[in-house]
Chains A and B, each alone.
Chain A
Amino acid sequence: MRNTLLIAGNVIKDAARKKLFYVVFLFGLAVLGLSPLLPTFDLGVRAQFLRDISISLTSLFGVVMAVVLSVNLIPGEVDMRTIYNILSKPVSRAQYLVGKYLGILGTLAIILSVMALEILILVGARLSLFTPVVLEGVLAVFLEAAVIAAFSLGLSTFASAPINVFATALFYLLCHVKTGFLHQKLMEGAGGLARVFMWVLYYLLPNLEDFNVSQQVGYGSGVTLSYALRIAGYSILFSAMFVFIGYLVFKRRDL
């Protein structure tokens, strides 16, 4: 555990050195830039619009950061050979991989917390409104980013960064359209192999739309506790699965 956390800590330090945390300024600018577009003077509508759009933006930033943080973490260490100094110490490959993943989660948590604060401040400043419901939205984004990061990190144990970015983008897309597009295709009854393929995809892929709560946050109702717990469990399940698959590959890999 100690070694896992040490490795995680270094992921965060490395992110700091690469100035990845500056993304929160970019986010601030983006939210600020979009807020003057409010279409009406009705306070309720404005608040709804602002919350909805900030959470959507948070989701975009969170998912992109999850990929940015994950794709090159292991390939980079293999290329730079810094991995030898770690794995020749009493550090197992499982500890290494899980440490890296926890480090990514830590980095995401820091970034998303600051973003949440930015949203609270912005909404507060614009509309003199304190809307803690956005925290629920940011939490949902974190849970989704955790799945994306796990997918990307798992994949990075054998795929190069460019392929990984492409595959993760595809994964993200499929997981968001699965209840709509894929389901519809399945119902339409495409034949043979295509049907089997879609069936497998349908049941294997997580439904990432479940993490999209920007509307509920927009309305200000938020989500129920049981819903929150359900998506948390969902996130943990899929994240663990992807990291574990990555481990199965990484365990046997020559470095």
Chain B
Amino acid sequence: METPDDVVDLRDITKSYRVGFRHARREAVSGLSLSVGPGQIFGLLGPNGAGKTTTLKVMLGLAFPDAGEGTVLGRPLGDREAHMRLGFLPESPYFYGFLTAEKALQLYGRLFGLDAEVLSERSARLLDLVGIPRESHLTLDKYSKGMLQRIGIAQALINDPELVIMDEPSSGLDPLGQKEIRDVLLGLREDGKTILLSSHQLSEVESICDSVSIIDSGRVVIEGSLSELLTEPGTTRITLRGGGEAAGAALAPLATNVRRDEGEIIMDVAADDAYRALEKASELGLGLVSVEPARRSLEDLFLEAVRGDGP
């Protein structure tokens, strides 16, 4: 699957941690491969403890894999050249408590060698972007979790990175905040950036990701483009209005799945049966709401993948 212009490429990464006093080790990540193409929002999904954070740490040279290799922006893992061109939001980020938001951004920016003028313009813009008042004299040790998360996002963008890696970007944010962050991420993609985010919040991922990799117990269980993963090939979903139990029952033989939801009948039928199902619906005097390719929800896909009880 890898192509030369992959922004992130991990090959067969295995990472174990020592547990307990003996030599026992447990694998947090087992033979994981991952490739992220340019310009997309890529979601690394998985339940708690699946190995998402570990994978990101390996990617950034914060942890060292036992086996496997990879490149980020075409450079070896942990390479400083690559770090010049990427931004990272750690999980539940924390900052030097003695700095104000603006001072913190300036410190991080200076680590990239940005000069004062660029930096003050950029930090002001980023604080606006993430919704933190600019001239606040509040030091960061007095920030709430959600505010720290916003600062974390701002600092990850201070160098105008090509690649943004975010570990659980919407954790600690209220629904409105989550929406704002989603918009920030979409804006970044618009600007041609590549975004790699980890999440266990499926709604977030479903609405913005182009591709996903679902991992469980350190292994990739499902990967691919989200639209392909979520459409059920060869199945059409017909949504109808009106009718009662009887109508539902009459349609049932034609469908693989029928359910009723707030006065609507939603039925999945094999694509070949779609016309017949529509005729039947018309005979029953039901209104037609929509006909579309059937889609699974990401939640279904996720649960199937993680429980291993897939179709």
A188 part of interface (Cβ distance < 8 Å): no
Tell me how many residues of A have a C-beta within 8 Å of chain B. Answer: 23
Q: Find out whether the CB atom of B93 lies under 8 angstroms from the CB atom of A81.
A: yes
At the interface, yes or no: A255 with Cβ under 8 Å from chain B?
yes
What bracket does the count of chain B residues touching chain A fall in? 20 to 34
B63/A14 in contact, CB under 8 A: no
Enumerate A75-108 residues with CB–CB distance to B below 8 Å. 80-82, 84-92
Q: Looking across the interface, which residue of chain A has its beta carbon closest to that of B87?
A: A88
Residues of B within 8 A of A13 (CB): 96, 98
Q: Are B62 and A6 in contact (CB under 8 A)?
A: no
Please give the distance in Å from B162's CB to the nearest CB on chain A: 14
B 13-38 binary contact with A (CB < 8 Å = 1; else 0): 00001000000000000000000000
Q: Quick check: is B113 within 8 A (CB to CB) of the other chain?
A: yes
Question: Is residue B97 within 8 Å, beta carbon to beta carbon, of the partner chain?
Answer: yes
C-beta contact mask, B49-76 vs A, less than 8 Å → 1, else 0? Answer: 0000000010011111000000000000
Task: Pick from A6, A10, A88, A90: contact of B90, CB below 8 A.
Answer: A88
Query: A-facing mask of B80-118, CB < 8 A → 1, else 0?
Result: 110110101010111111100000000110111100000
Option from B63, B83, B92 in Cβ contact (under 8 Å) with A90: B83
- Choose among A84, A89, A252 the residue that contacts B64 (Cβ–Cβ < 8 A): A252
Q: Is the CB of A90 within 8 A of B93?
A: no
Residues on A with C-beta less than 8 A from B198 are none
- Asked if B155 is at the interface (CB within 8 A of a chain A CB), the reply is yes
Cβ contact of B62, chosen from A3, A17, A87, cutoff 8 A: A87
**Chain A residues, Cβ within 8 Å of B155:** 85
Q: Contact: A84 with B62, CB < 8 Å?
A: yes
Query: A81 touches which one: B81, B94, B159 (CB < 8 A)?
Result: B94
Contact A90 B111 (CB under 8 A): yes
Complex alpha-carbon distance, A81 and B155, angstroms: 15
Return chain B residues, CB-CB under 8 Å to A6.
107, 110-111
Nearest-neighbor residue (CB-CB) of A253 within chain B: B64
Q: Which residues of B contact A42 (CB under 8 A)?
A: none
Measured between C-beta atoms, what is the minimum distance from B165 to chain A in Å?
8
Chain A contacts for B60, CB-based, 8 A: 87-88
List the interface of chain B (C-beta within 8 A of A): 17, 57, 60-64, 80-81, 83-84, 86, 88, 90, 92-98, 107-108, 110-113, 152, 155, 159
Closest 8 A-B residue pairs measured CB to CB?
A17-B98, A88-B88, A84-B90, A254-B63, A89-B111, A90-B80, A90-B83, A255-B62
Q: A87-B60, A88-B90 are in contact. List 5 more A-B contacts (CB 8 A).
A: A2-B113, A13-B96, A14-B96, A91-B83, A254-B17
Interface residues, chain A, CB within 8 Å of chain B? 2-3, 6, 10, 13-14, 16-17, 80-82, 84-92, 252, 254-255
